[in-house]
């Protein structure tokens, strides 16, 4: 099942002490595409709000995708669609009304532009938001089929 990221399927509302979050109005099964990515413009600088798509290439997610919060225990991962954009894919079943989250390390090799402390509140919280390079090996194995493939390629090049 593929659901476009239109306002009719999601709503923006308060997400505890993290400001706002994106919540689904639908339920999803593991492997469902939850939000479909679109690339409008490629950028060449890593900053808040962009997703990495190559060693030095980034794009800014549009619409509500840009407002999805980080979690160290996410319910969504990343899959590259036929256009090269990142879709958010359910890593487990997601209930209607649940906040959509993903680990920002699933899309950026290096992240150095977030606050020192992570606010996700999960039992698996690492305490800070970092990139793929900062993840422990156990988390990398858990995420392997839910990350952007260039992260795995960069790992091979850097090891």
Question: Over the stretch 98-126, which tens digit does the pLDDT of each residue have?
Answer: 999 999 999 888 887 776 688 888 999 99
Kindly list the structural domains of the chain, giving each domain's residue range(s) and its CATH number in brackets, ordered by start: 10-153 (2.170.270.10)
User: 131: closest CA among 157, 119, 156, 113?
Assistant: 113
Distance of CA 136 to the CA centre of its chain: 17
Contacting residues for 1 by C-beta, under 8 A, at least 6 apart: 28, 29, 32, 33
User: 88: closest CA among 47, 147, 139, 130?
Assistant: 147
Q: Is 52:107 a contact under the CB 8 Å cutoff?
A: yes
Reported as a pLDDT band with limits 50, 70 and 90, residue 147 is very high
Q: What is the pTM of this model?
A: 0.86
Contacting residues for 78 by C-beta, under 8 A, at least 6 apart: 86, 87, 88, 89, 102, 106, 107, 146, 147, 148
The neighbour count for residue 25, using CB atoms within 10 Å, is 12
| DSSP H or E segment with residue 156 | helix 149-158
Question: Over the stretch 41-92, which tens digit does the pLDDT of each residue have?
Answer: 887 777 777 777 777 777 777 788 888 999 999 999 999 999 888 899 999 9
Question: Is beta strand 86-90 parallel, antiparallel or unpaired with respect to 76-80?
Answer: antiparallel
| DSSP H or E segment with residue 158 | helix 149-158
């Amino acid at each position: 099942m593929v659901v476009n990221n239109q306002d009719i399927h999601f709503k923006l509302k308060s997400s505890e002490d993290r400001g706002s979050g994106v919540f689904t109005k639908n339920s999803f099964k593991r492997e469902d595409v939850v939000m479909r990515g679109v690339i409008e413009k490629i950028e060449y600088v890593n900053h808040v709000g962009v997703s990495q798509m190559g060693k030095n290439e980034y794009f800014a997610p549009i619409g509500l995708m840009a407002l999805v919060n980080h979690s160290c225990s996410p319910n969504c991962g990343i899959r590259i669609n036929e256009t090269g954009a990142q879709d958010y894919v359910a890593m487990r079943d997601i209930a209607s009304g649940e906040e959509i989250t993903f680990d920002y390390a699933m899309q950026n090799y290096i992240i150095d532009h977030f606050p020192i402390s992570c606010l996700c509140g999960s039992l698996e919280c690492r305490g800070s938001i970092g990139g793929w390079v900062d993840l422990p090996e156990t988390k990398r194995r858990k995420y392997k089929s839910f990350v952007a493939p260039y992260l795995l390629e960069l790992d091979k090049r850097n090891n």
